[in-house]
Amino acid sequence: MLPSYVVYLMALAALVRRLRQSARDTGPRPVRKIVLFKPDVDPDRVRSIVEECGGKLKKQLPIVNGAACVFPEEATAMGLLSRAGEVAWVEDDLVISINSACFFVPRPRPRPRQQIVPWGIAKVRAPEAWAHASGRGVRVAVLDTGIDMNHPDLKANIDGGFDCINETTNVIDDNGHGTHVAGIIAACNNDLGVVGVAPEARLYAVKAFDSKGQGQVSDIVQGVEWCIANRVHIINMSFGTIDSSKALAMAIQKAAQTGIIMVAAAGNDGRRDNVLYPARDPNVIAVAASTRDDRIAAFSNSGEQVAMAAPGEDIYSTYREGGYKSLTGTSMACPHVTGAAALLLSISPGLARDGVREVLCRTATKLPGFSPDQQGSGVVNAGAAVTRVRLSA
């Protein structure tokens, strides 16, 4: 047996090693920030300001007169605030996960031998609208993980897009979430697989989330900017975060000013007064999730910002690599409303952003036993909404 003092010294040495390792682990770490500059700061000056403060420019964000930057440590980044004449705001370039608005249904489903109308599409009464409205001519951006561009149920409706992460036009979906969302909105009415709410809407894949379903606010801001530049009519945002972002709020405000309709997922925490951002932004339509048996899903977040609900439980739709899958979440509820909005714009192109929201709210189906904070105006009713617009024309 070793003498007690030797055991003590060995233990002490081990403790010192752990403390040194902890010090290394908790030392300065690189941080990624979004820096917003004063209106009179020329974009050509941005890189110089960032580098003078010890940072590295990752991408410029002209829509908010800002930039995404990496700094060696937090203190270096905060040094930007001393340049009050040029810098207006500094915030974390938050990482947002689509998992906050979606989760998988483990039960396997066989590939359909012929086209089916998923229960959610039927529940929002989309088939009743198709004799008069199909989404034709309406440009819908899916701000997500990309879209399977060769999916047989989608490819006829896809007009391109942009990868904000790598700044290319390669928008392949290496996750599946974006393809699933796209199918709910506009899977083709082609005797294959499934059909979407607005089966002739034009889809644009704006990729801001990676294969793990994670995306940074700066990529989302750039995605919104791309949507404005490419004159899309609707942006679907099936994601959310507890935190707010001034940069994203500014981008959303710019999009709203151009008339773009934005629809977002309320979130899946099942909490009251906890609608995620950007759904809680006043310029965005916040969507809760409902079930087959006309209830608000237990996981669906609630709050005064909820505008309406839509099917979000066990939703069968297109998936990556030409497949199909069932997913659950407010991520799936959100595109039902996006599709309904596309139907309205296809028969009334001049209908304003606020007008679309008003029609969808006024024609929604109220669920007994659930508060406005849980369901908003009720479950979206695409058939009734299209009828209302037709009769008022």
Q: Which residues are catalytic?
A: 144, 177, 331
How many of the other CB atoms lie within 10 Å of CB of 53?
19
Local structure of residue 213 (DSSP, 8 states): S
Determine the Cα–Cα distance for residues 296 and 290; give it in Å rounded to an integer. 4
Determine the Cα–Cα distance for residues 20 and 29; give it in Å rounded to an integer. 16
Determine the Cα–Cα distance for residues 256 and 243; give it in Å rounded to an integer. 21
Residue count (the chain) = 393
How far is CA 369 from each of CA 49, 296, 316, 354, 376, rounded to the nearest angstrom? Answer: 56, 10, 27, 28, 13
Report residue 18 CA to chain centroid gap. Answer: 42
The letter for the amino acid at 171 is V
How many of the other CB atoms lie within 10 Å of CB of 269?
18
DSSP for 281-304? STTSEEEEEE-TTS-B-TT----T
Alpha helices (H) in the chain, listed in sequence order: 4-25, 43-52, 74-78, 119-123, 177-186, 217-229, 246-257, 330-347, 353-362, 372-375, 382-392
Local structure of residue 50 (DSSP, 8 states): H
How far is CA 169 from each of CA 96, 116, 147, 148, rounded to the nearest angstrom? Answer: 22, 32, 12, 13
Residue that the structure tokens 């010890």 belong to:
54
Six token digits for residue 359: 């029609």
Determine the Cα–Cα distance for residues 67 and 57; give it in Å rounded to an integer. 7
Helix (H, G, I), strand (E, B) or coil at 306: strand
Determine the Cα–Cα distance for residues 169 and 194; give it in Å rounded to an integer. 27
Local structure of residue 155 (DSSP, 8 states): G
Tell me: cis bond preceding 278? Omega within 30 of 0 counts: yes
How far is CA 332 from each of CA 8, 142, 327, rounded to the nearest angstrom? Answer: 59, 12, 7
